[in-house]
Structure 1
């Protein structure tokens, strides 16, 4: 049956179950169903509206019922649509786990949902990590329900972490404002204003003097812009597509910390025969200190090495060290080439085979306080001089569809004096890998 040949028009829409949710956002969400002129477009519009209602952050269930319209002004093709909704409970609780930077974290907290009837949320969350990191966030989120999916959020937070590879402990207390929006399909941008008071202390008596002299209090006020483009077909094991992340941060609006930092993260995936995939990745960053009575410290600098970037080295085991402590640097780059393959002897497309991949890799990179000039050839020689190189193979597993676990056998081939290579098995877990 040709549904486009069946004339149909929506003459009335009911939304049952509203309590706290405001009428204006509901009306603006459902009004598109009145533009349909045939039965097929009516069904499609209803499906779109139901999806948008579910994304408002106001309802936990949305049901749809369609009937003929029986009012006094009814047309022969008149239809009445009823959306039955169940609003979110005002008070909620959450507990979840996450992974990142080779660390697992457990989070718990409470939240108020749909506070003012337009999908607003207030949450308080405490998290504790396996590496003695902890944080507390109180965040208010306000969605604007426009075509750009704009979301404004503000947070008051306290975050503590340890960096045993550098011998210091960091405690941050600050306030954060974030404006996120989609400028195009699969393209998200963020504007972040961050003001944070930081306190660095030494982990032990063996902490290097070069780290000790940076201990103490500092005040950082920064404006950051983030651009994210993700056209991959999967986050963990993509078979095709490109991803690009660019961050630009200006610190020095207030306080004693001042620098301009630029970072880029790019990944390209190409399918090969027999469900194999070749992947190329590039990471790079540059920090330019601001000299007008501003400074920066070790926590602002770049480090390199470990199971999540240049494999075959200990965590932050590449680059400048002092008495065994990684000092970081103002510039770095890293590149990786991978070939992924499904597990052999398993049914293709099965639940187990989808979660595992074999991979072989080559990683390279460099980090240091490089001095660049207008001579591009000389700059290239500076960047690749004393670069590090490793290769290996291993097994990767998808974890929850957003992170992955890797067990690799790594062979560092090129390294420099002061580096900490790690020949043999290496275990990593994170949401991002080189």
Structure 2
């Protein structure tokens, strides 16, 4: 008797499966049914979680085309959890089913390859007046249901220290909705306002699909905030803000992002709306009460085979105090200015000022237009681009007696700067080196003429 090579059964199985696929491809409208589904691999994941993702594939009427599409969609859902580095489906003919006359019965196999459950990343960031070192550690699929536990540590020149512990889990095994619970402790140097801020608290939120195809976050946070380390030369308003405050707030963020690249878009648009209500709740928790709203938008369009790109960006926000005296806390106010914001001004050095301190404002508007062009002699795929820009912004204290006048003044008397520079798009961040020329500014602001370096993921 001739010996059978050890790999012959595997080769025969692959050949049979290949023949099955060829037959299915030639009969796209053939009625089929998936009668069983076996799962191979995925040993780090609970079987109940996996079954919740795939059981809806069984006992449904399909054609070959719709079944293959359903399997492809299922593989994408499983990949979206980030706990597998390989997801594939296999199909074989099954025994005919008496209760499915005229329907070809198929049995499926889900092949899963587990991703690593541990991740560690370290590095340094430089930009927007900040030099920092960071470390991020993560445990994935902690309880076998796509949960994650992440610890972030950051030490820098402005943000002296920041520690975040975050636990994230799918809501009811859904690939669309997640719940996040975070503990935060940070200490940061606000040198533009001669003090330090210490934050300690908790944040809980649900993240999922929003209106018009966007995404949304709905959550609650409770933070104990301390204004401390007040410098000897600090202004009277900064000294008055020293001490503790407690913020209890609910928030909602809706985002619609149709850009082809969030770091350096060449086509598309994005819109983000953020709202927060603090203290002014039925039980009046916290000693800070306000309503805060912000809007951000961007549009990008390319011309001449993407050799030239024009980007328009706009932002605005309003902070309204519910306190009896109508005052806002320096921790909650908006700040404006810097290499990642309104270029041509020092970091957060726009808006109201008390002596030498920039103390922030309750209303702001900012916008910019940028033109990016491929450099002569540089290939089309190069991440390096020439950058021409003009941006403008206003940050004001709110006139509560006549808020419309404040809003009108934002657009009537903006501070303006323009410049030229170079952009480098890295896979994880964007670098800018610009020469800036302030054109108009208020007497209370600190314009900056000369070279300005920026690093980050979001720019005006």
TM > 0.5 between the two? Answer: yes
Aligned-pair distance for 1:308?
1.4
Match of 1:22 in 2: 46
Residues of 2 paired with 1:200 and 1:375: CA distance?
Answer: 28
Match of 1:118 in 2: 145
Deviations 1:271-299 (A, max 9, x none): 33352222211111111111247853212
Unaligned stretches of 5+ residues in structure 2: 1-24
CA contact (8 A) 2:170 2:177 kept: yes
Q: 2:390 aligns with which of 358, 362, 370?
A: 362
Q: Does 1:43 align with 2:99?
A: no
Q: Does 1:389 align with 2:416?
A: yes
Aligned-pair distance for 1:148?
7.5
Aligned-pair distance for 1:209?
3.0
Q: 1:422 aligns with which of 448, 455, 458?
A: 448
Q: Does 1:165 align with 2:189?
A: no
Residues of 2 paired with 1:407 and 1:160: CA distance?
Answer: 28
Aligned-pair distance for 1:263?
0.9
User: CA, structure 1 residues 130+397, in 2 after alignment: closer, same or farther (shift >3 Å)?
Assistant: farther
Map 1:234-273 → 2, pairs under 5 A: 234-252=261-279, 253-273=284-304
State the SS of the aligned residue for 1:165.
helix
Residues of 1 paired with 2:443 and 2:313: CA distance?
Answer: 26
CA contact (8 A) 1:256 1:293 kept: no
User: CA, structure 1 residues 53+130, in 2 after alignment: closer, same or farther (shift >3 Å)?
Assistant: same
User: CA, structure 1 residues 262+370, in 2 after alignment: closer, same or farther (shift >3 Å)?
Assistant: same
Aligned-pair distance for 1:70?
5.6
| Cα RMSD after superposing both structures | 2.9
User: CA, structure 1 residues 184+333, in 2 after alignment: closer, same or farther (shift >3 Å)?
Assistant: closer
Q: 2:165 aligns with which of 122, 132, 138?
A: 138
Deviations 1:363-385 (A, max 9, x none): 11111114277796x56652334
State the aligned residue count.
427
Name which one, 1 or 2, has greater alpha-carbon Rg. Answer: 2
CA contact (8 A) 2:294 2:315 kept: yes
Aligned-pair distance for 1:346?
2.0
Match of 2:7 in 1: none
Q: Which moved more, 1:232-241 or 1:365-374?
A: 365-374
Aligned-pair distance for 1:18?
4.7
Residues of 2 paired with 1:381 and 1:294: CA distance?
Answer: 21
Q: Does 1:223 align with 2:247?
A: no
User: CA, structure 1 residues 411+87, in 2 after alignment: closer, same or farther (shift >3 Å)?
Assistant: same
Match of 2:4 in 1: none
Match of 2:204 in 1: 177
Q: 2:239 aligns with which of 200, 203, 212?
A: 212
What TM-score, normalized to structure 1? 0.88
CA contact (8 A) 2:336 2:342 kept: yes
State the SS of the aligned residue for 1:49.
helix
Residues of 1 paired with 2:366 and 2:75: CA distance?
Answer: 45
CA contact (8 A) 1:412 1:422 kept: yes
Aligned-pair distance for 1:110?
4.2
User: CA, structure 1 residues 222+97, in 2 after alignment: closer, same or farther (shift >3 Å)?
Assistant: farther
Map 1:377-416 → 2, pairs under 5 A: 381-401=408-428, 403-416=429-442
State the SS of the aligned residue for 1:317.
coil
Match of 2:89 in 1: 64
What TM-score, normalized to structure 2? 0.83
Aligned-pair distance for 1:37?
3.4
Aligned-pair distance for 1:71?
8.2
Q: 2:313 aligns with which of 281, 298, 301?
A: 281
User: CA, structure 1 residues 98+294, in 2 after alignment: closer, same or farther (shift >3 Å)?
Assistant: farther
State the SS of the aligned residue for 1:21.
coil
Residues of 2 paired with 1:109 and 1:417: CA distance?
Answer: 42
